[in-house]
Amino acid sequence: MKPLALLISLCLLGASNTLLAADIKNGKQLQQKNCMSCHDDSMYSRDERRIKDLSGLRTQVQRCESTLGLTWFDDEVDDVTAYLNKSFYQFK
């Protein structure tokens, strides 16, 4: 019974959250190194913030990243998105 329950919850997690594989520590480092020149962390928790869901967050990370002239790989965008989501946004 126990291994089966574990298997089921792993499947559910895998299906519901593709960001699970993201490297949050790497995301934090990337964000702190590159993203503090225009706004600090308070941007992510301001009252009138515009981001409403996870895909919107990812889009904004990409937008700001390309404004900076960085050329991040998809998994780097995912890492930063996952870090911001875990630390500030907490979308499901």
The footprint of ligand HEC (CB under 6 A) covers 31, 34-35, 37-39, 43-44, 49-51, 57, 60-61, 64-65, 67-68, 80, 84
Minimum CB separation from ligand HEC for residue 47, in Å? 10
Minimum CB separation from ligand HEC for residue 25, in Å? 15
By C-alpha distance, which of 15, 41, 46 is closest to 28?
41
Neighbours of 29 (CB within 10 A): 14
Q: Which is nearer to ligand HEC, 6 or 68 (CB)?
A: 68
> CA–CA distance from 5 to each of 1, 13, 17 (Å)?
6, 12, 18
